[in-house]
Structure 1
Amino acid sequence: MDEEVDHCGGDGVVAQDFPRRIGATPGPGVFDNHPVTDEKRCLTLRVVVPDTTQKGANVEVRVLVDGRDILADAFTEGPGEDPKYLLVPGGPLTAESVPHEVRLAEASCTEGCCGALYVTIQRDGDYVLWDAWRNPDEDEVDLPAFRFEVQEYQRQVERATADRSWEWPARTVARLLEQDLRERTAWLARWECELGAVSAWPWEPDQINVFLFHPGRSAIREDRPWLQFRMVLAVPSDAPADQAERLAEQLVAADPRQAAEVCGGSPEFARQLGYPWPQRR
């Protein structure tokens, strides 16, 4: 299931047959050996939700330029970034006069193993420039610089960011719950915890996962004992906003570690912090 927002005027074209599946072999790149010019390009941001039978596959943002999926051309080691990180108000795709680098995709086995795809975004007068493509795992990326008309670009990013029609109910609950919990910092400080993420996965459509760090991510950086906890919450058929509010009230009422299980860290860290290490099946 995928959703797209295409606002490139009457000439905007969306390809219907580009390879979306990770690992698919891309055809000849339409941008191969294309000179860098001031020609205006058409940007389309497409959210792709994998089938529920694809365990481990998550939602991704596919980037199309003139109807061509540039990830299929330039990076097939893993999916595009999750819209949770890429499509947020004032997020990384926002173009400003100061250039900044954005990661568009990461290898399924992590960036440190097989790389990622980065682009530098900058507003340049009436245009937005995408340039300086980079993959830490390769010497160079075979993509040219792209220029987008600034108003069309901003409209595309804003519309894609605002469009939530692709979300399933649990994903909506997870998003609203995370927003709520991040505004309630005192409850986690009381229990020496830090919120990691609230996630909903397509292959588990009726539940969400709340991840916590104890005592916090700083312990990882400082080489102190730490644990990660996971709490699995069922999502009934109530309205997502009501569910998120109710779950938030339940979570902040008590020590969240008592209702969660250890899912990260080490057996030695668990022993030092006074928690049982889970027995792997």
Structure 2
Amino acid sequence: MSAIHFISGLPRSGSTLLAALLRQNPRVHAGMSGPVGGMLSVLQQEMSARNEYAVFLSDAQRERILRGVFEHYYGPEYEAAVIFDTNRVWCARMSLLRTLFPQGKVIACVRDLPWIIDSVERLIQRNALSPSSIFNYQTSGTVYSRAEGIANGEGLVGYAYNALKEAFFGDYAANLMLVQYDTLVAKPQLVLDAIYDFIGEPAFRHDFDNVRFEADEFDARTGTPGLHAVRQRVVATPRTSVLPPDIFQRFQNDAFWRNPALNTRKVRIV
């Protein structure tokens, strides 16, 4: 079976761009968020004590079944030597990943929270005629209610942020690397070289002027065109926030990974 690694972290922080770059390497397969994380969650629930027949399952059987999801999902049609599965849930499943794939690494994409919320709001405003699944297709909210909705513990940003903290401060942080969005768009080869070193793969020279990734149909079905859009050329683009100043300031100090004193697990940050 191919070596399995994972892309996770915060939304709107470069995970799709990172996957688009990694797949330039013929040894690597990477894509946008997929169904494997959800499938594992459902299976674990059904193999737990909530199911009276779980008494017939041993932990060894559970482990084989869960690993088999990866083995069968990434079947013969995936010929890459290295596979990255993308899902924001992986940061909250570090102990499970360590059990199933002890050599597997998690690459978590991070970005300052005000700019993540700004990116979501900009996307919503750009698609004014198409209500988004991010907000349950509701059209009556304001920028304040939308920011609150995605920042709460079960929201698009809040859940991922809490999962990231769980991974960063937890016992399995040695398997975690953080990739900052600003570094990825400004120094992409540096980021990719660090990832290859982290997972034990030989370096590969990427083309940052011809990046390709297509997910238009998926984005359209979620009512959020452009959700996974990737520019052809990797470049840092300065811009002014569309958020009111009080929203921007509310989240301005939440980038805990920027404080070296908090990195007690010595997580590698690029």
TM-score range, shorter chain: under 0.3
Which protein has the larger Cα radius of gyration, Structure 1 or Structure 2? 1
Q: When you count helix as a share of all residues, which structure comes out higher?
A: 2
Q: When you count strand as a share of all residues, which structure comes out higher?
A: 1
More relative contact order in 1 or in 2 (CA 8 Å, sep 6+)? Answer: 2
